[in-house]
């Protein structure tokens, strides 16, 4: 009896439930949480090299974690008598887990030391989780300890005096070695051999030894050289004990200039000009011969070069043997110039006897081309997105330079009212000149109001320097519009059919009435 009563009650409750109106149930909240990540950095190596008081410290760091770092930067703080002279912080861009970054700093040391401790600070603006496909807003920083040696203060300078020899005649040349560093050089051995020349009255190779060479001191050795080609040189291998106690071996090539009794050399300083600009150069006019020249005039010629040099006619006057006179010229370099441009010159002079003569030669100018990557435009589509909808921000990049740029990495960041739908960074690699490239980024609109989107592009120019360009765009997000529930009513198909039938009947009656008349 109890079982039957329970069955009847269950059936009644089921019927009552079926009779109730359907009420929408609230959706369960979506899980958007994540576990905080661990960021681990390891200094793989640190090295330093340089001359004098200036050196370059290079640090390799590996990052281990689960999320990609966005807009990463690094800064070095030496803990010794040194300071960083290069621009800080250094831009590292996006940093994926397991990747290694190599960052270099120019350091000026005021007091030499075998070792200098330092701290490397790394911080990042944001993070991206590939598994969640979202920004996790975990910007942070870390500090790493490292050390490097400042033994680059050892600086040996070698030179051949004089550096000009004459065709067909032996010359006495002094090989000078100067210690320009901070530390004493000990057990110095110089091994000398010749290329395109013969070293007279000595064994081959010729060896000189110095027990120690204090800072600022110079040692000189004499040797006789007979040129046998148009471009002879002395090859000197120097070996010594460094400040750290290790054996250092370096090879120096000292060119010798071959001239006749009457020779004039014209060389530019500097020999590098920038495309698309005007550069002032210092021209060295050197009498490499053995006699005095009078009424010396230099005529510069540009037959197949697009360069323009002012003045092109230079009056030098008297030029004694070995004398170096410097004149300034302005060089206008168009963007159509090649990477190296040859400039010819003709030297007209007279000797003491009154006869005139002319010499011809040329020198080469190296042309560097600046990188021209820029963000041409940043557009938001639509311009006034509604809350809950998506907006696409498209950044258009163009390389308006002459050569490709490399390692192009585009990163986008936005206000908290916009949430990225996909990865907020894109690695484009190499971009060729005069090519437009558009990179789209998608965001979900979370809050109304004016939202800012910043696009940053980092790249390497043709000479390896890291550069950065950026641009921002404002997005005016509006609240979501509610669907109007006015008095508009939908057509009733039965009423429509009845109305059409009544109209047809009325038309028939009217036609019949006219027919009877």
40-152 in CATH: which number?
2.60.40.1480
E-assigned strand segments in 65-205: 68-78, 82-84, 90-95, 100-109, 116-129, 134-135, 140-148, 156-161, 164-166, 171-179, 185-195, 197-200
The structural domains of the chain, with segments of one domain joined by +, span 40-152, 154-259, 264-368, 373-477
Do 154-259 and 264-368 fold alike per CATH? yes
Instruction: Specify the pLDDT at position 43.
Output: 93
Taking the CB of residue 364, how many other CB atoms lie within 10 A of it? 11
Query: Helix or strand or coil: residue 314?
Result: strand
Query: Helix or strand or coil: residue 442?
Result: strand
Instruction: Specify the pLDDT at position 504.
Output: 56
Order of all β-strands in the sheet with 373-381: 373-381, 390-399, 436-445, 418-420
* Fold for the domain defined by 373-477: Immunoglobulin-like (2.60.40)
Bridge partners of 61? 43, 101
* Fold for the domain defined by 154-259: Immunoglobulin-like (2.60.40)
Distance separating alpha carbons of residues 245 and 278, to the nearest angstrom: 49
Give 153's DSSP letter: G
Pairing relationship of beta strands 156-161 and 164-166 according to DSSP bridges: unpaired
Instruction: Specify the pLDDT at position 176.
Output: 93
Residues 6+ apart with CB under 8 A from 238: 156, 158, 177, 188, 189, 190, 249, 250, 251, 252
Give 21's DSSP letter: P
Superfamily of chain region 264-368: Immunoglobulins (2.60.40.10)
Residue ranges for the chain with pLDDT beneath 50: 1-32, 483-491, 494-498, 508-509, 515-517
Q: pTM of this prediction?
A: 0.38
Instruction: Specify the pLDDT at position 502.
Output: 53
Q: What does residue 153 show for φ and ψ, rounded to 5 degrees?
A: -60, -10
Distance separating alpha carbons of residues 123 and 386, to the nearest angstrom: 34
């Amino acid at each position: 009896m109890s079982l039957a009563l329970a069955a009847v009650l269950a059936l009644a409750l089921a019927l009552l439930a079926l009779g109730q109106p359907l009420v929408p149930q609230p959706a369960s909240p979506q899980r958007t949480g994540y576990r905080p990540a661990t960021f681990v950095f390891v200094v793989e190596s640190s090295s330093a090299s340089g001359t004098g008081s200036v050196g370059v410290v290079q640090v390799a760091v590996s990052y281990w974690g689960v999320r990609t770092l966005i807009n990463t930067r690094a800064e070095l703080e030496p803990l010794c008598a040194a300071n960083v002279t290069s621009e800080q912080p250094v831009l590292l861009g996006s940093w994926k887990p397991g990747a290694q970054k190599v960052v270099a700093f120019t350091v000026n040391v005021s007091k030499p030391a075998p070792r200098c401790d330092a701290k490397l600070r790394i911080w990042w603006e944001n993070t991206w989780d590939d598994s969640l496909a979202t920004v996790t807003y975990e910007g942070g920083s870390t500090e790493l300890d490292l050390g490097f040696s400042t033994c680059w203060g050892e600086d040996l300078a070698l030179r051949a005096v004089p550096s000009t020899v004459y065709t067909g005649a032996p010359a006495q040349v002094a090989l000078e070695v100067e210690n320009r560093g901070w530390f004493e050089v000990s057990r110095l051995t110089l091994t000398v051999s010749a290329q395109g020349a013969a070293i007279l009255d000595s064994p081959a190779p010729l060896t000189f030894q110095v027990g120690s060479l204090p800072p600022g001191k110079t040692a000189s050795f004499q040797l006789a050289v007979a040129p046998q080609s148009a471009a002879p040189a002395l090859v000197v291998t120097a070996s010594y004990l460094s400040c750290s106690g290790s054996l250092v071996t370096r090879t120096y090539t000292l060119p010798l200039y071959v001239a006749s009794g009457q020779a004039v050399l014209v060389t530019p300083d500097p020999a590098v000009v920038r495309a698309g600009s005007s550069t002032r150069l210092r021209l060295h006019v050197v009498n490499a011969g053995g006699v005095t020249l009078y009424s010396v005039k230099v005529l510069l010629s540009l037959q197949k070069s697009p360069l323009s040099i002012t003045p092109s006619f230079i009056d030098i006057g008297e030029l004694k043997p070995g004398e170096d006179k410097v004149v300034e010229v302005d060089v206008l370099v168009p963007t159509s110039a090649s990477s190296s441009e040859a400039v010819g010159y003709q030297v007209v002079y007279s000797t003491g006897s009154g006869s005139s003569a002319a010499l011809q030669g040329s020198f080469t100018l190296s042309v560097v081309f600046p990188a021209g990557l820029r963000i041409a435009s940043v557009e938001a589509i639509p311009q006034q997105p509604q809350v809950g909808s998506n907006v696409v921000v498209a950044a258009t990049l163009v390389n308006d330079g002459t050569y490709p740029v490399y390692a192009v990495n585009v990163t986008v960041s936005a206000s908290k009212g916009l949430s990225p739908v996909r990865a907020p960074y894109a690695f484009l690699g190499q971009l060729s000149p005069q090519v437009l490239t558009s990179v789209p980024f998608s965001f979900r609109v979370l809050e109304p109001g004016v939202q800012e989107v910043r696009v940053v592009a980092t790249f390497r120019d043709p000479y390896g320097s890291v550069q950065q360009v950026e641009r921002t765009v404002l997005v005016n997000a509006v609240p979501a519009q509610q669907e109007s529930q006015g008095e508009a009513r939908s057509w009733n198909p039965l009423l429509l059919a009845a109305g059409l039938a009544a109209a047809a009947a009325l038309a028939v009656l009217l036609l019949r009435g006219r027919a009877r008349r």
